[in-house]
Structure 1
Amino acid sequence: MAYQLFIIPSATPGCSIYVVIDGGAPKMRVGLTPDAPRLLSCRAVFQTQALSASSHGEGQSILLVGEADFSFSMCVAKSLGQGQNITATSLNTKDEWEKMFSKAKPNIQVLKRLTATVIPRVDATKMAQHPGFKAPNVNATKPTLLKFQRIVFNFPHAGFVKGSNEADEDMISRHQELVSGFLKNAYEMLTEDGEVHVRHHSAEPFKRWKVVDLAKKVGLHFREQKPFNLAAYPHYTPKKGAGNDPDGPLTLHKPSLFRFDQLDQA
């Protein structure tokens, strides 16, 4: 059943009453803060647009890759009301992200309070080999690779090279290498009914990365591309992540959500 959300205005300032129907009995809840409607928006969009176009259950396993200040992970966990099935990763170490991003520490504290898993030093191009994603298997000689129903990478970027700009072919090749490596690993870590989500700029020169072509080369099936609405994700601020100002806000250029799966539905 499709996720449905109904918001009922309340006479009490700063309070919203909302009914959620997500495949089970209707649930009435009350939002008591000014953020309540925005959190609901985040929840609704994440469950219907970002996670699935048809239906989604809160029990889905979610892997978030390449987090900067963990604001996206925090937004998702808060909107779902729990983080038990969320694994958030970063290429940086704990010391690095606390120095680079002013809100990383408090965001991670929220994630841990909601029982999400946070793993540092995860290279998106080699994550299938990371020990944090290996589970012991008593019936096999090798550990079992953990798999996820949603694998998300927001605005991948291979870093800045002094003297280069985003339109240079060598920079585009660097970015393509990163995205291709991520998609190859994501394919290995995806459940049969899972999806890979990449948020990326669709304007020039970023569209020259040809994300859809890269996905097809590793065996993923392209499902759709749709505009990404940043306003629907309260407290999520895309970051530059590198350079002289890693904590600075990332300028978005016609951002889109790209959805891929392993199923040939053409």
Structure 2
Amino acid sequence: MQRRTAGAALAAVVAGSLLGCSAPFPPVHAAPDGRAPTVFAHRGASRQAPENTRAAVRRAHELHITWIENDVQRTRDGALVVIHDPTLARTTDVEQVFPGRGPWRVGDFTLAEIRRLDAGSWFGSRFKGERVPTLQQYLTLLDRDHQGLLLELKQPELYPGIERQTLDVLDRAGWLDPAHVRDRLVVQSFDAAALRTTHRLRPAVRIGFLGKPPVSRLKEYASFTDMINPDHRGLTRDYVVHVHRLKGPHGAPLRLNAWTVDDGPTAARLVALGADGIITDRPDVMRARHW
């Protein structure tokens, strides 16, 4: 009975995602504590299209997923691009295009050089010619399809000042207006210092900490974060309860989004624990499964 109840809750979550609600998190029937979990497409629909590309965003939109997670880094000449790894080797053909420039770190290449790279063929021949998008290009596509963005500052210690620069790009793209800030944007990172800086620069922006701070430090994190986003492994009901007891800087209870959850039974378990969101590589599974 408990499993069936949790499954029904997640089915409602997915249904809410499919409705394309304009609220920041779809107001659907949810976990036992009444909260509303949300499905986030991790790096886009990253099992059906090359991760962090516009193709992955488009596929998530086809699945009617309204929240996308991505990663941002900086090129040698100061452009912000959407890519996960600190090097270009795994998800582009950089080793063939620039064979003598290993280890092919993102920050060692200009935007013009990165634009020459194929970021799709590694995933499948039909994605040949897909490019590493700039953050601006990514934002434009999300806006076109009315999707929300869970934006990760990836290894910000490699890119001094990236917090302010990211906010500047968001601002120029219109993403720091009240509607986006309230309903469609969260900035997250594993780096607490970068998040503190982001919160100081733009207090209205919602912040998510990637990780699982000890319960004894949750109050400290609640001073600058609105969400705690941990690895799902080892997550307990007791920890979720402690998170929910605290309010973040915008006066609302802290939320908890678990990652990376790619199968139905695990997602159902997390919903039963009270998780507010599911970050997944398999939004197709979350959409299609009968619970």
Band the TM-score falls in, shorter-chain normalisation = 0.3 to 0.5
TM-score (norm 1): 0.37
**Relative to total residues, which structure has the larger strand share, 1 or 2?**
1
**Relative to total residues, which structure has the larger helix share, 1 or 2?**
2
- Higher relative contact order (CA closer than 8 Å, sequence separation 6+): 2
TM-score (norm 2): 0.34
